[in-house]
Chain A
Amino acid sequence: MSKAKGKSVGGAAGVYRPEAVQDVAESVGISSLSDSVASALASDVEYRIQQVIEEAARFMRHARRTTLTTADMDNALRTLNIEPLYGFGGATVPPPFRRAAPFPHMQGQGHGPIYFIEDDEVDFDRVLREEKITVPRGVSWAAHWLAVEGVQPLIPENPPAVPRDSDQPPQQDGAANTAALAAQKKPQQQQQQQQQLVKQVLSRELQLYYARLTASLLPPTDNAKRTAALASLRSDAGLQALLPYLVKWIGEGVVNVLREGSGSESDGRTLEVLLDAVSAILENNTLFVEPYLHQILPPLLSTLLHTSLPPTHASHLRATASSTLARVLTTHSTTYPSLTPRITKTLLLALLGTSTNFSNGHQGASFGTRIGAIRGLGAIGKEAVRKGLVEGGGARVLGKELENRMDDGDENTDGTKDALVDVVMNAFRMLHAPSDMPEAMDPSSPEAARLMETVGEFFAQRLVGDCAWAMGILGETPSS
C-alpha cells in the first residue's frame, strides 16, 4: 500500500489509461467509444479499484501482515458486495507476475508494461505416477527467552547482537584512512578487544597461568617444562574459564604454522605440541569441551589434511591427529549425532575430490592430503574406510594416480608415494585381516575382475595374491 502511495503521488497521471478502456470496449464489441467517454471511464475504474484496494488494505492490517494478498482483495470485494475474483487465492507467496514481451503494434501508444501470471503446464501422467503428496506438519510452537531480566541471551533463537559503534576506540592517526591500513588495523583491534575481555573476565591468577602455559608449551623451551604443562592441561581442574582462550590459541597457532607453510623442523615441532595440547584438553575430565568442538575440529582436520606438512614430522603428525580425531568422535558422537557424518563427508571430499595441485607440478602434495584423509577415515571406523576406498572408488583413483607418477620417477615424491601405498594397504588390513596362508586368486575368475574394477589395477595387483583378503575387502565371503 505504502509503495503504491508513493508512486501515485509522484506520477499522479493514473495507472488505468483510456486506451485500456478502449481495448476492453473493443473486446466486447463496442467499436466506437469516444475519447472523452473512455477517459471518464478510466478515471472511474481507477477510483473503484482504489476503493477496493483501500478496503483490502484494512484486511491486510487486521491480518497482521505487511503484504497485500489476493485473499485480502477477495475479502474486500465480499465486504463491498461484489463477487470476488475466483482463481487467485490460496497462495501464501504472492503469485509470480511476469512481464509480457511488448506487442510490436502497441508500441508508442502509451501502453505501460503488461504483467501476467504464468501457469505451469502440468503433466498429469507424471503427477499421478510420482504421488509425492506430503501432508504438512501443521502449526507448532517453540518457546525461548527473548530477554532475561532485561538482557537478551545470545542463543540461536535470538538474532546476533548488533555491535555498538561506541565500543571501538576512535582512530587517532590520520593515515588510517586508507583502506589497506584499516584492514590491517582490524585484527589488531580484535586482538585488543580479546585481551580486554581476558582481563575483564578472568581472574589474575588464571591470566598468569594462561601466559605461563602458552609460553612453556611453544618450542623454545625444554622438554621437562613442556611435559609438565601438558600434564597440567591433562589433569588440572578449574581450567574451564580458560578453555575458550586455549582453544582459540591452538586454532590460531595451527593456522599460523600451516599458512606460512615453510615445512621446517620447528614448525613440525610446534604442530606436534599443539596437537598434544588438544589431546590433553580432551583427556581432561573436568573440562566441558562440547561447546568448543566446532573450534577444536578445524585445527585437527587442517593438520590431517594439509598438503605439505614438514616431511620429518608428517607421518607422526597425521597419526596423532587421526588418533585425536578418533577420540573426539568416540566421546562426543553420542551427543552430536551429526558429527560423524559431517567429518566423514569432509574427509571423503578430500580423498575423492579432484586434486587441485595436479596441474601445477606439486604432485606429491595432494598425496599428503589423501594420506591424511585415509588415516582420518580409519579413525572414524571400518565403514568409513570401506565407503571411501572401496565403494567410493578411492583406491582406484589413487592407484591410477600412483601409476602415473611412478613413471616420472621424481625423487622427492617417492617417499610420500610409498607412504600412501602403506597407508592404503593398512586401511585394507583394517577392513579385513590378511590371511595367514595367502591363496592366490584366479586372475580369470569373475571375482578378480570385480576386484580390478573396484580398487583399480594398481592395488588389485597387490591384493590378488590373497584371495580371502581381497574378498573380505570387497565385502563378500570367499566363494570357496
Chain B
Amino acid sequence: MSANTPQSSGAMSPAQAEASSSTPTDRLVLEYLRSRGHANAVKALSDVLGTDPSTSAKSSETTVSSEELLKGIAVYAQKASRPGENSLKDSSNAAQELNSLSPSNIQNLLASLGSIGAEEILSTDPTDKQEGFRELESWVEGSLDMYRPEFRPILFPIFCHFYLELVQRGFKDAALKFFSSFSNTLAPAHNAVLHHLSTLLLPAHVQNDELAQRFRNEKYVIKMSRSGFGLLVGWLTEGVGGEAVGSGEGFSGETGKRGRSAVMRVVNNHLRFDVTAASTTTLSSSEWEESTGLLSSLIPGSSLSSSSIPRPQTFNSSKGELKLGPAPISEELRAETDRVLREHAMLDRDPGAQYDTYSRLTAPQGLVSPAVADLPPLPPSFKTVDVQREVERVRDHRKRIRLEPSSLNSVDLNSAAGTAARARGLPSICAYTLHDVGEGSPCSTFSPDISLMAAGFAESHIRLWSLKGEKLKALKNDLSPNSIRDSTSLSKLQEKDGTTSRKLIGHSGPVYSVAFDPLSGSAAPPKYLLSASADATVRLWSLNTYTNVVAYRGHQNPVWDAQWSPMGVYFATGSRDRTARLWSTDRVSCLRIYAGHLSDVDCVRFHPNSLYLATGSSDWTARLWDVQRGTCIRVFIGHQGTLSSLAMSPDGKYLASAGEDLAINLWDLGSGRRIKKMTGHTASIYSLAFSAESSLLVSGGADWTVRCWDVKSSGGQNKAKENGSSEVSPFRGEENENFETTDLVATFPTKRTPILNVHFTPRNLCLAAGVYLGSDPK
C-alpha cells in the first residue's frame, strides 16, 4: 500500500531512486508501532511489505544512513514525549510532524500511519470526507491553468471512493448529502457512472455491485506529469503547493487536516499515478481519456496486484505484429478467374474490360499478408460461385466511383470548383425508409449484391424485400433432390407466385441483428441469412425456401450481434453474457468463446482477411481477438461510453468504433493506437461504413443524419469560427458547431428517420436504411 505511489512511477521518475531507501523507514515504523501497541497497524504494514518480497529482500541489505536514522528517530522521540494524546490524533498529526523528512519517506510513512488512523476517525465522523473533498476541489480549481486539466481527473475517483465508503459504513444521509453537494461539477463528464453510484444506498449494495467492487479492488490509474505529481504530493503532505493558498483556513483547523488525510488514504489505497516525463501542455485530452480509469481489469494479463502500471499501449505492443494484409487466394481460383475475365473481355468488346486481371487488385503497402495456413479452414476446392464472386470483385474495382474526400480540404465549397470537388469526394447516398413499422425495427441490412434488404423487428419476425422488384419465390415444399438436373428443372420447382416481400417467423424475441452471407459477393443473391435475437438464439435462414434451417443455441442471454466471416462458413456473435463466440454453420455448438469483456459484447466485426475479430462492449472498450487462438491481442481504450457500432476498413488497417459518448474513434489496428476522435453526432450512432478505398467513413444515427468523415485528414477541433475564416462544411445544422471536428465533410439530414444501417456497395454507392418515425408521439 504505502509503497505504491512512488514505485508505480518508478519507471521514469526520480522516485525510483528514493523507493529503495524507503524500506528501512518501514522497518523503523514497524518497530515503533509494535512498541506503541498498534497491533492492527503492524499487521497492515507488514502485509503490505510482505507482498513485495523483492523490495524487502533488498531492504535488508541496504544500510541506513546515520542522518536518516536520526531524522526518523527524532520524529518518534517527539511523539513519544506526548503520551497523553490518543493514537488517532497521533497518526493524523503525523503529516505535519514528518515534514522534516525527505519526501518519499514522508509519503510512505504517512500513508501507512494515515490510512489506519483515518479509517478509525472516519468511522466516527463522516464530515471529514465532505471537508476533504471540498479542500481538494478548491485546490484543483485554484491551481495554475497549465495544471488544472491534469488535476481535474483526480476529483472523480476520490469522489467515488468517498461516496462508496460513506455508503459502506452506513452513513446513508451523509452519503446523499455528499453526493448532492459535489456531484454537479463532475456530472457532465461522468454522468453514467455517477448515476449508477447514486443508486447504491446500502452497504449490501456496495458489496454486491460490480462497479463498486471494481472501484474498491482495482487501482484507478491517473496520468500525471512529474511536476504536477510533485505539487499533489506537496499539497497532500503540507497543505500547500499549487495555488490554493486561499483555502488555507481549513488546513489550519483540525477538520481540514483530517479531511486531507482522508483524501490521502484514497490516493494511497486506490489510485495509481502514471507519471510521465512529458510536460503538461503536450498531452492532449484524448491521452487523458486513454490512460485514466480502472484500467487493470480492462487490459488482459495485468493482474490486480502487479506493480506495473496497466497501459493499453504496453499490452498492445507486447502482442506482436498482426498480419493485416488481404487473405491469400488459391492459385487455381486465381487462374480460373483470370480466364473468365479474359473471356468476358473478348465477348463484351468493352474497351475497359481487357485490362481486367486479378493482379490489378494490389495489396496495400506495408502490410503482412497471412499464409493460407493462417486462415481458418475452408473448403479446399472452389465452386462456380467463388469464381463469379472474384470476377465481380475485379470488375467492381474497375467500375468503382473513386472517392477522394481529401480534395474537399483546399477548395471553397461554394464555388464552382467546390461542386466538382464535392462530386469527387462525396458519395451518392440512396436512403431506404421503412414506413408503418409497429414497435420498431432494431436492425436492417443490405445483401452484398443489393438485391435484397432485410430488417428485424421488435415483434420477433424478420422481413425480406427484393429491392429490384422481383418476386421472391420459394422452392416447393415437396421437392425431391432426384428431379433436379439443371437450373431450368430447379426453376420449375419454384412456387408459381410470390411476392416482393417475405416474412420470416421463428424467433421469440426482438431481432437485434440480421446478416446476409457474403459467399456470392456482388455477383449473385445470397443464399443464407443470419439473425440474432433476444431469445438467446441465432438462426440461419435459407433464402431458397425462406425457412429456418438451424437455430444455434449456446448463449445464455440475448444475442446483440451476429456477423459473417468475410469468406462465409464462419460467423461470430456477441451477447449480453459478456462473451463473443465463433460458430461454423455446419455445427450447432460454438467453436470458440472469446471471454474477457467486463460487460455485454454489443457488436462484432471480422477483419477483411478473417484472421481477427473486433468486438465492442459496454465496458467502454473494443478488443481485437485472434479468431483461431481465441486470445485477445489488442485492446482499444478511449471511449467514454458503451460502444454501439464498429467498422473495419476494407484495406485492413483501421477500425472505426462509435460509442454512446457520441464520438467515433479511428484506431490503427497494427499499433493499437487511436488515430483520431471524430465528433459531431448529436445522438447515438447506430452504424458505420467505410468506402471501398477506405478513404471515407459514413455514419448514421439517432439524430436523423448521415454524416461523412474524411478518414485521411488529421481532424481536430474546428477552429474556423474563431479565426473568422470560411466554414469547411456547407451543411451546418443548428446544433452547436464547436464540437464538430474538421474531418466531418458533409452532413445529410433526413426527415425524422433514425438511420439504422449504412452500407457501401463495392462500387462505392452508399445505401442507408432507417425507420420513419412519423409525428412526435408526445
Interface set of A (CB-CB < 8 Å, partner B):
2, 4-6, 8-14, 39-40, 43-44, 46-47, 50-51, 54, 58-59, 61-67, 69, 71, 75, 79, 92-94, 136-152, 157-159, 162, 164, 166
Cβ–Cβ contact A47 & B202, under 8 A: yes
Indicate if the CB atoms of B576 and A79 lie closer than 8 Å.
yes
The segment out of B73-81, B121-129, B429-437 that lies at the interface is B429-437
A150 touching B684, Cβ below 8 Å = no
Report B311 CB to chain A, min CB distance, Å.
29
Q: Which residue of B lies closest to A42 (CB)?
A: B201
Contact in complex: A43, B172 (CB < 8 Å): yes
Within 8 A of A (CB), among B623-665: 642, 644, 660
Residues of B573-606 at the interface with A, using a CB-CB cut-off of 8 Å, are 576, 600, 602
- Closest chain A residue to B428 by CB distance? A148
Residues of B within 8 A of A (CB): 172, 176, 179-180, 183-184, 187, 191-192, 194-196, 198-202, 204-205, 419, 422-423, 425-443, 453, 455, 457-458, 463, 465, 467, 501, 509-510, 512, 534, 557-558, 560, 576, 600, 602, 618, 642, 644, 660, 683-684, 686, 702, 706, 708, 726-727, 730-734, 746, 748-751, 754, 756, 766, 768, 771, 777
The residue that A62 contacts in the complex, of B184, B465, B512, B749, with Cβ under 8 A, is: B512
A146→B433 CA distance, assembly (Å) = 11
Name the distance in Å between B409's Cβ and chain A's nearest Cβ: 14
B428, B435, B660: the one within 8 Å of A145 (CB) = B428
Contacts of B194 in A (CB 8 A): 5, 9
Is there contact, CB below 8 Å, between B198 and A12?
A: yes
Query: CB within 8 A of A166: which of B179, B198, B457, B727?
Result: B727
Is the beta-carbon distance between B465 and A71 smaller than 8 angstroms?
Answer: no
Q: Is the beta-carbon distance between A79 and B558 smaller than 8 angstroms?
A: yes
Chain B nearest CB, measured from A178 CB (Å) = 26
Given A67-B777, A144-B433, A158-B750, 16 extra CB contacts under 8 A:
A6-B191, A9-B183, A47-B201, A63-B440, A63-B458, A75-B510, A92-B777, A138-B501, A146-B706, A146-B768, A149-B422, A150-B423, A150-B428, A150-B746, A151-B419, A162-B749
A44 to B201 Cα, complex, angstroms: 7
Chain B nearest CB, measured from A98 CB (Å): 15
A150 to B732, CA, bound (A): 14
In the complex, the answer to whether A143 meets B777 with C-beta atoms within 8 Å is no
Which residues of A lie under 8 Å from residue B458 when comparing CB positions?
63, 71
Residues on the A chain within 8 Å of B706, using CB: 146-147
CA distance A94 to B176 in the complex (A): 32
Residue numbers in B under 8 Å from A164 (CB-CB): 730, 732
Least Cβ distance of B233 to chain A in Å? 32
Task: Please determine whether B734 and A63 come into contact, CB atoms closer than 8 angstroms.
Answer: no
In the complex, residue of chain B having the shortest beta-carbon distance to the beta carbon of A66: B702
Question: In the complex, how many angstroms separate the beta carbon of A14 from the nearest chain B beta carbon?
Answer: 7
Name the CB-closest residue of B to A138.
B436
* Choice from B455, B618, B727, B749 contacting A58 with Cβ under 8 Å: B618
A139 engages B436 (CB within 8 Å): yes
How many angstroms between the C-alpha atoms of A150 and B422 in the bound complex? 5
Q: Are A50 and B199 in contact (CB under 8 A)?
A: yes
A71 engages B432 (CB within 8 Å): no
Task: With both chains docked as a complex, state the minimum distance between the C-beta of A94 and any C-beta of chain B, in angstroms.
Answer: 7
- Flag if A139 contacts B196 (CB, 8 Å): no
Does the CB pair B429–A146 fall under 8 Å? yes
Tell which of B427, B441, B558, B727 touches A64, judged by Cβ atoms closer than 8 Å. B441
A146 to B734, CA, bound (A): 19
Q: Which residues of B contact A13 (CB under 8 A)?
A: 176, 180
How distant is A117 from chain B, measured CB to nearest CB, in Å?
Answer: 15
A58 contacts B422, C-beta separation under 8 Å: no
Tell me if B463 and A75 are in contact (CB < 8 A): no
Tell whether, in the assembled complex, residue B428 and residue A137 are in contact, meaning their CB atoms are under 8 Å apart: no
Give B16 Cβ to nearest chain A Cβ, in Å: 41
> What is the minimal beta-carbon distance from A437 to any residue of chain B, in angstroms?
63
Establish whether residues B431 and A146, one from each chain, have CB atoms under 8 Å apart when the complex forms. yes
A13-B176, A94-B777 known; A152 vs B510 contact (CB < 8 Å): no
Majority secondary structure, A binding face:
mixed
Residue in A closest to B561 when the chains form the complex, CB atoms: A62
Contact A59 B428 (CB under 8 A): no
Q: Which of A63, A144, A145 has its CB near the most chain B CB atoms (within 10 A)?
A: A63
**A150-B425, A150-B426, A166-B727 known; A64 and B576 CB under 8 Å?**
no
Q: Which residues of A contact B196 (CB under 8 A)?
A: 50, 54
The docked-state distance in angstroms from the alpha carbon of A141 to that of B457 is: 14
Cα A9 to Cα B564 in complex, Å, equals 42
| Cα(A377)–Cα(B457), bound, Å | 51
Residue contact A65 to B440, C-beta cutoff 8 Å? yes
Residues of A within 8 A of B192 (CB): 5
Most buried by A among B205, B441, B756: B205
Given A79-B576, A150-B427, A151-B419, A141:B702 Cβ within 8 A: no
Q: A12-B180, A43-B202, A61-B660 are in contact. Are A141 and B512 (CB under 8 A)?
A: no
Which partner residue on chain A sits nearest B767 by CB separation?
A143
Q: Which 4 A-B pairs have the closest CB atoms?
A: A150-B426, A50-B199, A43-B201, A150-B422
B191 and A9 contacting across the interface, CB-CB below 8 Å: yes
Residue in chain A with minimal CB distance to B702: A66
| Contact partners of B201 in chain A: CB under 8 A | 14, 43-44, 46-47
Residues of A within 8 A of B422 (CB): 149-151
CB distance from A68 to the nearest CB of B (A): 12
Chain B residue, CB-CB nearest to A7: B195
Please tell me if the beta carbons of B184 and A10 are within 8 angstroms of each other in the complex.
yes
Residue of A nearest to B700 (CB): A146
A149 close to B602 (CB less than 8 A): no
Question: Please, how many angstroms separate the alpha-carbon atoms of A95 and B749 in the complex?
Answer: 30
Question: Contact: B754 with A64, CB < 8 Å?
Answer: yes
Contact B434 A145, beta carbon cutoff 8 Å: no
Distance between Cα atoms of A67 and B748 in the complex (Å): 24
Distance to closest chain B CB from A247 (angstroms): 27
CB distance from B761 to the nearest CB of A (A): 14
Contacts of A6 in B (CB 8 A): 187, 191
Which residues of the other chain, A, contact B204 by a CB distance below 8 angstroms? Answer: 44
Given contacts A44-B202, A71-B458, A93-B777, contact A147 B443 (CB under 8 A): no
Which A residue's beta carbon lies closest to that of B734? Answer: A162
Q: Are A64 and B431 in contact (CB under 8 A)?
A: no
Q: From A149, which residue of chain B is reached at the shortest CB distance?
A: B423
Q: How far is the CB of A39 from chain B (nearest CB, A)?
A: 8
Q: Give Cα A150–Cα B731 distance, bound, in whole angstroms.
A: 10
Whether B437 pairs with A139 at a CB distance below 8 angstroms is: yes
Q: Are A144 and B431 in contact (CB under 8 A)?
A: yes
Cβ contacts under 8 Å, B427 to chain A? 147, 149-150
Cβ B733 vs Cβ A162 within 8 A: yes
Q: List 19 A-B contacts (CB under 8 A).
A: A9-B184, A9-B195, A11-B180, A43-B201, A43-B202, A44-B201, A58-B600, A59-B534, A61-B660, A66-B702, A71-B439, A136-B436, A139-B437, A141-B434, A146-B430, A147-B766, A150-B427, A162-B733, A166-B726
Could you say which residues of chain A place their CB within 8 Å of the CB of B432?
141-143
Give min CB distance, A357 to chain B, whole Å: 38
Q: How far apart are the CA atoms of A63 and B702 in the complex, in Å? A: 11
Complex interface: chain B residues within 8 A of A151 (CB): 419, 422-423
Residues A12 and B179 in contact, CB atoms below 8 Å apart: yes
In the complex, are the beta carbons of A140 and B434 less than 8 A apart?
yes
CA distance A58 to B732 in the complex (A): 31
Q: Is the CB of B199 within 8 A of A47?
A: yes
Cross-interface CB contact of B430 among A58, A143, A162, cutoff 8 Å: A143
Cα separation A414 to B512 with both chains bound (whole Å): 76
Set of chain A residues within 8 Å of B423, measured between Cβ atoms? 149-151
Residues of B within 8 Å of A147, CB to CB, are: 426-429, 706, 746, 748, 766
Q: Are A158 and B751 in contact (CB under 8 A)?
A: yes
Cα distance A11–B199 in the bound complex, in angstroms: 12
Please determine whether A144 and B430 come into contact, CB atoms closer than 8 angstroms: yes
Q: Which residue of A lies closest to B603 (CB)?
A: A62
B498 to chain A, nearest CB (A): 16
A67 to B727 alpha-carbon distance, docked (Å): 35
Instruction: Point out the residues of chain B lying under 8 angstroms from A152, CB to CB.
Output: 731, 748-749
A66 touches B684 (CB 8 A): yes
